[in-house]
């Protein structure tokens, strides 16, 4: 049995591992795909202290190296269920079962889809959720970016290095992104803004052809002839595996110490209900989660003696 099982190998999970291991906790990280989480899809990180400019993959490599310095053990397993117990919890994966006194859920989130006709058909064939991954396929072509938050504008700016023109389609008449990102986007001649519009459908028979957008005020539809579309309209938390108190959107509700509604189960990072989702806040969550999970483990162990 482990002291602490961490589910998720992103910024929150790796930070939690560093803190737990330094506290002498027998710890394991269970990661579904690859270490780093959504941050590895980010070309440029400019707001993480100590790194004025670094790529997402490079930053996560440093996180992983740091955790492994203290002996972090990472198993690539997809967790399907957490079964709570009175003094320990069972974590079920597709191939085996783990038991831990405390569990830290740091599963992050997945990109939210548009949910319109033609989207599923052309995912990976014109519809993308990652400019860093797929941008080079659209070199010197015109593309659309959907959204108005940090991710949408950051990735639109990145795409200007690759594509001919970007049409940023946003359902409001102003952006939600950080002011510095807005200024960079407004100053870039390759970026054009299409305000007050949403995507109605993705067009094409055998291959991607265009998108149809709709004005939110008068419902007038317009065909936007682009070679591809990059979608950044939010994320859906990966929290189905755990039965704790959540918001209507599936975000895990915690107290200030990352405790959930079930004793011994903690949550950290983008999967929990928080007012800001950044690398820095994920790191803070991971540190708090590990510290109080460690306290919980010590309490459980002392009560057994």
pLDDT at 276: 86
Residues noted as catalytic: 130, 133-134
Is the pLDDT score of 305 beyond 80? no
Report pLDDT for 44.
81
Q: Domains along the chain?
A: 2-110+235-304 (3.50.50.60), 113-231 (3.50.50.60)
Query: Which residues on neighbouring strands pair with residue 266, listed in sequence order?
Result: 104, 259
Q: What is the pLDDT of residue 66?
A: 98
Share the mean pLDDT of the chain: 96
The DSSP secondary structure of the chain, one letter per residue, reads -EEEEEE--SHHHHHHHHHHHHTT--EEEEESS-TTGGGGG-S-B--BTTBSSB-HHHHHHHHHHHHHHTT--EEE--EEEEE--SS-EEEEESS-EEEEEEEEE---EEEPP---BTTGGGBTTTEES-HHHHGGGGTTSEEEEE--SHHHHHHHHHHTTTSSEEEEE-SSSS--S-HHHHHHHHT-TTEEEETTEEEEEEEESSSEEEEEEEETTT--EEEE--SEEEE-S-EEE--TT--S-B-TTSPBP--TT-B-SSTTEEE-GGGB--S--SHHHHHHHHHHHHHHHHHHHHHHHHHH-
Residue 133 is predicted with a pLDDT of: 82
The pLDDT of residue 38: 85
Short-list 149, 48, 63, CA closest to 106 = 63
pLDDT in tens, 209-261: 999 999 999 999 999 999 999 999 988 999 999 999 999 999 999 999 999 99
Nearest 10 degrees: Cα torsion 168, 172, 173, 177: -60
The model's pLDDT over 155-205, given as tens digits with 9 standing for 90+, comes to 999 999 999 999 999 999 999 999 999 999 999 999 999 999 999 999 999
Model pLDDT, residue 275: 87
The pLDDT value recorded for residue 228 is: 97
Structure tokens at 246: 């959540």
Does residue 107 carry a pLDDT above 80?
yes
Report the pLDDT value the prediction gives residue 182, as an integer from 0 to 100.
Answer: 98
Percent of the chain whose pLDDT exceeds 90: 90
């Amino acid at each position: 049995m482990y002291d602490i099982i961490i589910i998720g190998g992103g910024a929150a999970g790796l930070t939690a591992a560093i803190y737990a291991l330094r506290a002498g906790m027998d710890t394991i990280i269970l990661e579904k795909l690859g270490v780093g989480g959504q941050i590895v899809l980010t070309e440029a990180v400019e707001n993480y202290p100590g790194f004025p400019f670094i790529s997402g993959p490079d930053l996560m490599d440093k996180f992983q190296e740091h955790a492994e310095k203290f002996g972090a053990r990472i198993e690539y397993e997809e967790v399907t269920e957490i079964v709570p117990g009175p003094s320990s919890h069972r974590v079920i994966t597709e191939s085996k079962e783990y038991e831990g006194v405390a569990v830290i859920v740091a599963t992050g989130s997945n990109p939210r889809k548009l949910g319109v006709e033609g989207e599923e058909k052309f995912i990976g064939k014109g519809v993308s959720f990652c400019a860093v991954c797929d941008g080079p396929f659209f070199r010197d072509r015109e593309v659309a970016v959907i959204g108005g938050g940090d991710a949408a504008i950051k990735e639109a700016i990145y795409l200007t290095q690759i594509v001919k023109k970007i049409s940023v389609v946003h359902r409001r008449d102003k952006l939600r992104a950080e002011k510095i990102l807005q200024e960079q986007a407004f100053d870039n001649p390759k970026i054009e803004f299409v305000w007050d519009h949403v995507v109605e459908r993705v067009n094409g028979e055998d291959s991607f052809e265009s998108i149809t957008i709709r004005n939110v005020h008068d419902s007038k539809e317009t065909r936007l002839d682009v070679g591809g579309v990059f979608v950044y309209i939010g994320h859906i938390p990966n929290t189905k595996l755990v039965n704790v108190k959540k918001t209507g959107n599936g975000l895990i509700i915690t107290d200030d110490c990352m405790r959930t509604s079930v004793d011994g189960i903690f949550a950290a990072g983008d999967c929990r209900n928080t007012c800001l989702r950044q690398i820095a806040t994920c790191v803070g969550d991971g540190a708090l989660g590990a510290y109080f999970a460690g306290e919980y483990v010590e309490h459980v162990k002392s009560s057994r003696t």
